[in-house]
């Protein structure tokens, strides 16, 4: 026993994941079948089932692998330091890294939507994949609105933020970005990339900032529900 492995299981699984991602982009998450993924990767179904006993196990792995791929692709772009331009422009370029404004980001957003859909249909899995990423986007919005570097995760996610107004506007921006992304994906004929940029910057200009306190919004309670 304990014979040295002949193949690298992790490498094989990663190959399967890449094939599955290609299928998701072509046919959506419902197209991720045992037979389909095996054919896309050039294998037989029996070989695939040596690594994933179930379709469920396959899809769960694919969701995880896709989330990892997205993190590696999107986060560095969003966290790249911005120096030039106004605060509005800096925040806009950060947010635009996550919006489906071109084919590459449309691909990324389609993959992200597939993950969210999968987790909506399978809510009992231990440890939601998208939750941490949602928090990361949230923190990114907060940090961007402050004009600071992203805050390290304090570990206490529900603790009230020191600046309730910034927290509120981060939540508003987060929601707005979700809507903008949905409109760009679902009704691209009505909301083009240029329109999205205009809308985003218009909203950002409406955000009250300390150095420009022209508009006061009465904050009643923190937006965490």
Binding site for its own copies (CB under 8 A): 30, 116, 120, 130-131, 134, 168, 171-172, 174-183, 185-187, 190-196, 198-199, 202-203, 205-206, 208, 214-221, 223-225
Within 10 angstroms of residue 11's Cβ, the number of other Cβ atoms is 9
- Shortest spacing between CB 8 and its own copies, in angstroms: 36
Residue 179 binds which entry of DNA, its own copies, none, CB below 5-8 Å type-dependent: its own copies
C-beta of 54 vs 224, nearer to DNA: 54
- Shortest spacing between CB 40 and its own copies, in angstroms: 20
Q: What is the dihedral of CA 84, 152, 95, 74, to 10 degrees?
A: 100
C-beta of 14 vs 110, nearer to its own copies: 110
Angstrom CA distances, 59 to 17, 19, 109, 131, stand at 9, 12, 18, 18
C-beta of 6 vs 159, nearer to DNA: 6
Contact positions vs DNA (CB under 7 A): 1, 3-7, 9, 12, 31, 33-36, 43-47, 49-50, 53-56
């Amino acid at each position: 026993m304990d014979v040295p492995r002949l193949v690298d299981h992790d490498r094989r699984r990663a190959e399967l994941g890449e094939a599955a991602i290609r299928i998701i982009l072509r046919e959506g998450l419902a197209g991720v079948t045992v037979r389909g993924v095996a054919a896309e990767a050039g294998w037989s179904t029996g070989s695939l089932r040596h690594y994933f006993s179930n379709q469920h196990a396959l899809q769960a792995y694919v969701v995880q692998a896709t989330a990892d791929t997205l993190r590696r692709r999107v986060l560095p772009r969003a966290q790249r330091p911005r120096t030039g331009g106004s605060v509005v422009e800096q925040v806009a370029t950060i947010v635009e890294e996550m919006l489906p404004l071109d084919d590459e980001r449309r691909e990324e957003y389609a993959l992200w939507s597939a993950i969210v859909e999968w987790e909506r249909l399978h809510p009992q899995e231990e440890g939601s994949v998208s939750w941490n990423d949602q928090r990361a986007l949230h923190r990114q919005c907060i940090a961007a609105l402050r004009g600071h570097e992203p805050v390290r995760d304090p570990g206490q996610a529900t603790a009230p933020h020191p600046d309730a107004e910034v927290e509120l506007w981060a939540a508003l921006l987060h929601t707005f970005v979700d809507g903008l992304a949905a409109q760009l994906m679902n009704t691209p004929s009505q909301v083009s990339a240029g329109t999205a940029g205009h809308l985003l910057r218009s909203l950002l200009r409406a955000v009250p900032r300390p150095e420009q306190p022209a508009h006061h919004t009465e904050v009643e309670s923190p937006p965490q529900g």
